[in-house]
A and B are shown apart, each in its own frame.
Chain A
Amino acid sequence: MFAYVVRRVLATIPVMAIVALFVFSLLYIAPGDPAAVIAGDQATPQDVERIRASLGLDRPFLVRFGEWVWNILRGDMGVSIFTNLPVTTMIQQRIEPTLSLMILTLCLAVSIAVPMGVVAAWKQGSWIDRAVMGFAVLGFSVPVFVVGYVLAYIFALELDWLPVQGYTKFEEGFFPWLENLILPAIALGGVYIALIARITRATMLEVLQQDYIRTARAKGAGQTSILFLHALKNAAVPIVTVIGIGIALLIGGAVVTESVFAIPGLGRLTVDAILRRDYPVIQGVVLLFSFVYVLVNLLIDLLYTLFDPRIRY
């Protein structure tokens, strides 16, 4: 197992290298010019040229790429073209809100979706099942920003229960932290709940047909025990897989959610950087997201062994 983990961690290095090359190349060939954005609309072409030169954007691809890789290897992600702040500082400023949002969404989604899927499978064909599936379709279909606006309208504007925007650090208290994040987490969690609930239901339906479930019933096991101990554990592998894949959904959804609720997270940082062509920031954030995604996949693979002892690495 240990050797496997080491192998997988080492395997992230070529993956990250490919991601780095891909991102850098893509940005190099993509249209757009940060110098033009910096110079402003009234600037002359000569001003734009001078700014481009001062940023080193007029140098050849290989020189810039080599310099960037060398800096990355030394732990230096560079400096934002616009803010003049180190990319690592900007990521540090933004990582807590995004992590908080993703963790809360994950907890919320799993704690709601898994029981929903289990109950829907148990009551297959009943109104409960239809209601769960109806919710799943709705969760998939309604865009995150629509859910966000509706929630903000009801809970912030109408009821005045929760703030509509911003983020309070966890260190300033759990409840202030939760106040700011609960609406975004619900908005972002809709798609995720729908996805997990559907997969849980489908997998549970299959598992519930198995002989060992009949055996459990025959020996007098209770319904709760059958559903959550016997069936759910055996259905866990695909569910955990979907939860892992869904992290990518969360990362994408966080961009919209952070914008709607004005949360200063990595999603907004990414969008702002892309619109301004702030290359060092884009490269840094994409590398970070890639790394997180690779790690999440590793974690999911390791979790398989917990749920299915037959799996060995």
Chain B
Amino acid sequence: MDRRNFLKGTAAAGLVGASVGLTGGLAGPALAQGAAARTLRFVPQANLANFDPIWGTQYVVRNAAAMVWDTLYGFDETLTPKRQMVEAEQVSADGLTWEFRLRPGLKFHDGTPVLAKDVVASLTRWSARDPMGQMLKALQNELVAVDDRNFRWVLKKPYPKLLMALGKNSTPMGFIMPERLAKTDPFQQVSEFIGSGPMRFKRDEWNPGARAVFEKFADYVPRDEPSSWLAGGKRMGVDRIEWIIMPDPATASVALQNGEIDWWENPITDLVPQLRRNRNIRVDIADPLGNVGTFRMNHTTTPFNDLKARRAVLTALSQEDYMRALVGDDNNLWKPLPGYFTPGTPLYSEEGGEILKGPRNLDAAKRLLAESGYNGSPVTCIVAQDQPITKAQGDVTADLLKRIGFNVDFVATDWGTTGQRRAMKNPVGQGGWSMFHSWHAGADCINPAVYNAIRGNGAGAWFGWPDVPAVETEVANWFDAPDLATEKAVIGRLNKAALDNVVYAPTGFFLSYQAWRSNVSGIVKGPLPFFWGVSKS
């Protein structure tokens, strides 16, 4: 039996009887009414398997960490970095010296004050792992604590994107930890979870794979402004948040309908119609920044080391095919993406995107492939089957490549193996690979600083190692761009260069839903679930 169809069938049956609702028998476990209203039960997208947001850069870790650790700056809903732990900053006229002052009254969860030396240690650890941090580190003359509340960052060259680096929501974020923890090797996990944010992590109740618990930190001092994504006053409307890990979406769906959980971060599309028809449940887009589907080719091995072979793929690739495979018939959940940057964000560009627009041209693709000199050698497609997004894309790709004329060697594997194999630079047939699928959160595709996959710096680039100097030139230009108009012009050229050289093939832009009980209020759309401002009645 097809499990997915069975789920849909069960869901459909559920609609018929949803209103029957007999009650009686053994009562379900219940908290006292007041306590229940102060406890939010949340089903996250994945298991919180570790809790060091610098060491482990998975989104689920970042999402939990954003409750527990505060940042110096935070993106608001316009993607503008706003002051968070910082009270004021000052930059010298030459743009080389930045001076920051922390807000008064900031405390860590162990009761100690947040000091400038904690910030310096935290930023030092963060900068070893974050791409923007690494750039800053390369430009850094000194990063020092001036006194308890003030610290100074002196650079060798102006870095206009500094506040963006400190406030961005892509992983790893610049979370502020106590100095003794922040001095941990960035490639080792911290041993304690002493936070600086509005919620305290209950390590004693942490059961990885099952549950993580967060309690309101009474001494947290929120900003006065209203909250907006990672910026503004992070006021908690509940005292306790329980993350309940549910690997099975059907179970999460029933649990939400039963009131056993309050908020489900990522309901699968198949179950959304059933949830929508339940008057006790609200459904909405989770993250307006969505995701970008990725068809990544290996630029260092045949056949995709030849530009014509890469362009053959782009010429025939139908983004609608990919998106339908991912989100089904729901047109609210996808858009064509003739470019690389997140739609709806300031730097979105379609320059050079003609190759992805209009009717797909299989004949032209075949001609390009023939011109590339492709000799029928196997094209090894690494497709992780345990990730629905990569599996769906992989199935479409196998068909597409065969129709173009590639000799497809379809390697069905899991994500763990994909992660290992894509790092191998061996030729195909000796452990190497030709392509794999992934996806990037839209929040990571808003500019080149947080977007590894767009880079064309050869051996230093993301897996597939494209070597495209034209892209790198524009990346450098963007970092130096003084204003938004210049940035947009640069990104247009970058987008075109990346498409002309097929840094990778974007398979489309897609969104996902979130669902919650109607007695929960304050949930907003965003690149991560924001728990401040959320309350239960």
Mask of B17-34 contacts with A, CB within 8 angstroms, 1/0: 110111111101100000
Mask of A253-265 contacts with B, CB within 8 angstroms, 1/0: 0000001111010
CB < 8 Å neighbour of A31 from B7, B250, B254, B417: B417
Collect the chain A residues with CB atoms within 8 Å of residue B413's CB: 31
The reply to whether the CB of B416 lies closer than 8 angstroms to some CB of chain A is: yes
CB < 8 Å neighbour of A166 from B13, B50, B260, B462: B260
Collect the chain B residues with CB atoms within 8 Å of residue A48's CB: 419, 423
The prevalent SS among residues of B at the interface is loop
Contact A259 B208 (CB under 8 A): no
Collect the chain B residues with CB atoms within 8 Å of residue A38's CB: 50, 55-56
Contact A149 B10 (CB under 8 A): yes
Collect the chain B residues with CB atoms within 8 Å of residue A117's CB: none
A141, closest chain B residue (CB): B1
Segment with Cβ contacts to A, from B187-195, B305-313, B335-343:
B187-195
What is the CB-to-nearest-CB distance from A271 to chain B, in angstroms, rounded to a whole number? 8
Mask of B241-256 contacts with A, CB within 8 angstroms, 1/0: 0001111101110110
The reply to whether the CB of B420 lies closer than 8 angstroms to some CB of chain A is: yes
The reply to whether the CB of A47 lies closer than 8 angstroms to some CB of chain B is: yes
Contact A84 B50 (CB under 8 A): yes
A278, closest chain B residue (CB): B49
Q: Could you say which of B3, B258, B460 has the most chain A C-beta atoms within 10 Å of its C-beta?
A: B258
Contact B171 A45 (CB under 8 A): no
What is the CB-to-nearest-CB distance from A36 to chain B, in angstroms, rounded to a whole number? 3
CB < 8 Å neighbour of B187 from A42, A50, A158, A259: A50
Contact A153 B254 (CB under 8 A): yes
The reply to whether the CB of B185 lies closer than 8 angstroms to some CB of chain A is: yes
What is the CB-to-nearest-CB distance from B454 to chain A, in angstroms, rounded to a whole number? 11
Contact A164 B251 (CB under 8 A): yes
Contact B438 A54 (CB under 8 A): no
B209, closest chain A residue (CB): A272
Give the contacts of A130-189 with B (CB-CB under 8 A). Answer: 143, 145-146, 149-150, 152-153, 156-166, 168, 175-176, 179-180
Collect the chain A residues with CB atoms within 8 Å of residue B25's CB: 159, 161-162
Q: Report the bound CA distance from A194 to B248 in whole Å.
A: 26
B55, closest chain A residue (CB): A38
A93, closest chain B residue (CB): B207
B254, closest chain A residue (CB): A164
Contact B244 A262 (CB under 8 A): yes
Contact B419 A36 (CB under 8 A): yes
B246, closest chain A residue (CB): A262
* A37 touching B24 in the complex, CB below 8 Å, given contacts A149-B7, A275-B386: no
Contact B416 A37 (CB under 8 A): yes
Mask of A83-112 contacts with B, CB within 8 angstroms, 1/0: 111000010011000000000000000000
CB < 8 Å neighbour of A272 from B47, B56, B444, B452: B47
* A156 touching B452 in the complex, CB below 8 Å, given contacts A44-B462, A163-B29, A275-B415: no
Contact B247 A259 (CB under 8 A): yes
Contact B21 A160 (CB under 8 A): yes
Give the contacts of B11-63 with A (CB-CB under 8 A). Answer: 13-14, 17-18, 20-26, 28-29, 47, 49-50, 52, 55-58
What is the CB-to-nearest-CB distance from B150 to chain A, in angstroms, rounded to a whole number? 32
The reply to whether the CB of A34 lies closer than 8 angstroms to some CB of chain B is: yes
The reply to whether the CB of A301 lies closer than 8 angstroms to some CB of chain B is: no
What is the CB-to-nearest-CB distance from A231 to chain B, in angstroms, rounded to a whole number? 37
A-B CB pair tally, cutoff 8 Å:
186
Contact A260 B251 (CB under 8 A): yes
The reply to whether the CB of A277 lies closer than 8 angstroms to some CB of chain B is: yes
Mask of B438-454 contacts with A, CB within 8 angstroms, 1/0: 10100010000000110
Q: Report the bound CA distance from A305 to B479 in whole Å.
A: 80
Interface size (B, Cβ < 8 Å)?
A: 71
Collect the chain B residues with CB atoms within 8 Å of residue A168's CB: 29
Contact A43 B248 (CB under 8 A): no
The reply to whether the CB of A276 lies closer than 8 angstroms to some CB of chain B is: yes
B172, closest chain A residue (CB): A40
* A160 touching B23 in the complex, CB below 8 Å, given contacts A45-B423, A268-B247: yes
Q: Report the bound CA distance from A53 to B185 in whole Å.
A: 13
Contact A157 B14 (CB under 8 A): yes
Contact B56 A179 (CB under 8 A): no
Q: Report the bound CA distance from A162 to B414 in whole Å.
A: 35
Q: Report the bound CA distance from A171 to B209 in whole Å.
A: 22
What is the CB-to-nearest-CB distance from B452 to chain A, in angstroms, rounded to a whole number? 5
Q: Report the bound CA distance from A152 to B11 in whole Å.
A: 12
Give the contacts of B208-228 with A (CB-CB under 8 A). Answer: 208-211
Contact B50 A82 (CB under 8 A): yes
The reply to whether the CB of A294 lies closer than 8 angstroms to some CB of chain B is: no
* A32 touching B209 in the complex, CB below 8 Å, given contacts A161-B25, A259-B247, A276-B49: no
The reply to whether the CB of A211 lies closer than 8 angstroms to some CB of chain B is: no
Contact B258 A36 (CB under 8 A): no
Mask of A4-48 contacts with B, CB within 8 angstroms, 1/0: 000000000000000000000000000111101111111111111
* A268 touching B209 in the complex, CB below 8 Å, given contacts A42-B171, A54-B188, A149-B7: yes
The reply to whether the CB of B263 lies closer than 8 angstroms to some CB of chain A is: no
CB < 8 Å neighbour of A275 from B17, B207, B414, B421: B414
The reply to whether the CB of B463 lies closer than 8 angstroms to some CB of chain A is: yes
Residue contacts A-B, CB under 8 angstroms, 17 given: A31-B420, A34-B416, A38-B56, A41-B440, A42-B171, A45-B463, A83-B208, A149-B7, A163-B260, A165-B244, A166-B29, A166-B244, A179-B26, A259-B248, A262-B247, A264-B211, A268-B247
B residues engaging A (CB < 8 A)? 1, 3, 6-7, 10, 13-14, 17-18, 20-26, 28-29, 47, 49-50, 52, 55-58, 129, 170-171, 185, 187-189, 191, 207-211, 244-248, 250-252, 254-255, 257-258, 260, 386, 413-417, 419-423, 438, 440, 444, 452-453, 460, 462-463
Q: Please provide the 8 A-B residue pairs with the shortest distance between their CB atoms, ordered closest to farther.
A: A36-B419, A264-B210, A33-B420, A40-B57, A161-B25, A32-B416, A31-B417, A54-B187
Other than the known A41-B440, A145-B3, what 9 A-B pairs have Cβ atoms closer than 8 Å? A31-B417, A44-B460, A47-B129, A83-B49, A84-B189, A157-B258, A160-B21, A160-B24, A164-B254
A residues engaging B (CB < 8 A)? 31-34, 36-48, 50-51, 53-54, 80, 82-85, 90, 93-94, 143, 145-146, 149-150, 152-153, 156-166, 168, 175-176, 179-180, 259-262, 264, 268-269, 271-272, 275-278
